Structures are given as structure tokens and as C-alpha cells.
Amino acid sequence: MTLKVKVCGMLNAYNVTELVKLNPDYIGFIFYPGSKRFIGPVVPKEIMNSIPGSTRKTGVFVDEPILSLIENFRINNLDLVQLHGNELPEYCENLQRLGIPVIKAFSISPHFDFQSIGIYEQFCEYFLFDTASILRGGSGLKFDWEILSDYHGNTPFFLSGGIQPGDSAKIISLNHPKLIAVDVNSGFEVEPGSKDISRLKTFIEDLRSIDAI
């Protein structure tokens, strides 16, 4: 199965227009005010109008009050949400009941207990494994990917955290049955919120060509 690609932290309309030519599976917009890539409460129409229906629009939130998140989801016509805070399983369950698909992010440290996240499984479409840091994502740091062998859950996951243009072969070599997508951000930036399209193009082509072998 070909790995999917999510490009997160987009801000610039022209940059998004160039990105969609690469056919990413997901584009992420960060609605967390503490982020350098904060898009604001509403994604500009010129950005949204450039995104084809085949690319799922993802809103990234951190401990957002649930009513505010729901309003944001509807106003921006998002396809799913990514939760990067300390949201409880009940929070995810409430979103699921409203038909809002959830990616729940977890910060991975050297001794992370994957069994502890089993309580989220039935309420989330995907998990996302990112590097534990003082930041809520976008740290540019990798965790030890070998620890992924300890994950035996049923929920497919996105791999995130410090992914760089030359990582395609290593990602494929992980060969984890539940690894469904990669989430890239700061490793491909010219500046916060602006991606190097050329480097993304090479990475995506490499990832898809290696995966197809």
C-alpha cells in the first residue's frame, strides 16, 4: 500500500497552489494561536478554493474548547481534525458522534507506553506519533523510530516529527503494518508556513516510487 502524505502548517496562498500540484493526500492548517504557523480563525478563501476534493483539509487544534472547534470545523469546511493537546477520549467520542473524523496526536518519548492509548482507539480514525518536546508539533526533532515496533494497536497511524527530504527509504524500511501516512512540516520549510515545493516534490516522488517497488 502506498503511504499517504500530509503537509502541515500551510499559510501562503501561492504556496498552497503549488503544493496541490503534487497531489498531497492531506493539507494541514494550524488553528493553535501559540504556533508560528497559526492560520487564524478562518482559512482565506483563495487558499481553500485551490484545494481539490481529493485532498483532505485538516485542522490542527490544541486543547480547543469543543464548541469552538466544532464551529471552526464547519466554518472552514474541514474534512477532519488533528488534536495535539491533552484531549481526553470523551472529547474524541463527542466529535465522532458528530461525524467529525479525528486524528489524535501523541508525543513519543523513549519509554512511551503504547498500551496507554488503547482507550482512544474506538473514537479516532487515525493516530499520529510525533516527537515529545516543549512545542506542540513542528519541533523539527525525530524520535527513535525503532520504538514503533512496540505499537500493536488496531488504529492506523501517521508518522511525524523531524522528517527530512532524505528520509523516504528509511520510512519505507520501517514496514509497520499500521503506518498509513507521513506528516511533514518544518523539515521542508523556507520559513514558518512556507514550504520548499522542490524538496517536497522530490520527497513525495521518492516515497511513492520506493513504496511501489
- The yes-or-no answer on residue 130 being catalytic is yes
82-116 b/e (C-beta count within 10 Å ≥ 16 → b) = bbbeebebebbebbeeeebbbbbbbbbeeebebee
- The yes-or-no answer on residue 8 being catalytic is yes
Q: Please report how many Cα atoms fall inside a 13 Å half-sphere around the Cα of residue 108, on the Cβ side.
A: 26
- How far is it, in rounded angstroms, from Cα 211 to Cα 100? 30
Exactly one of 8, 25, 92, 183 is catalytic; which is it? 8
Exactly one of 25, 92, 124, 130 is catalytic; which is it? 130
CB-based contact 132:109 (threshold 8 Å):
yes
Distances (CA, A) of 212 to 11, 74, 145, 174, 198: 31, 36, 22, 15, 21
CB-based contact 193:38 (threshold 8 Å):
no
Distances (CA, A) of 147 to 47, 78, 84, 207: 37, 32, 20, 21
| Residue in 154, 172, 155 with CA at minimum distance from that of residue 163 | 172
Name the residues annotated as catalytic: 8, 130
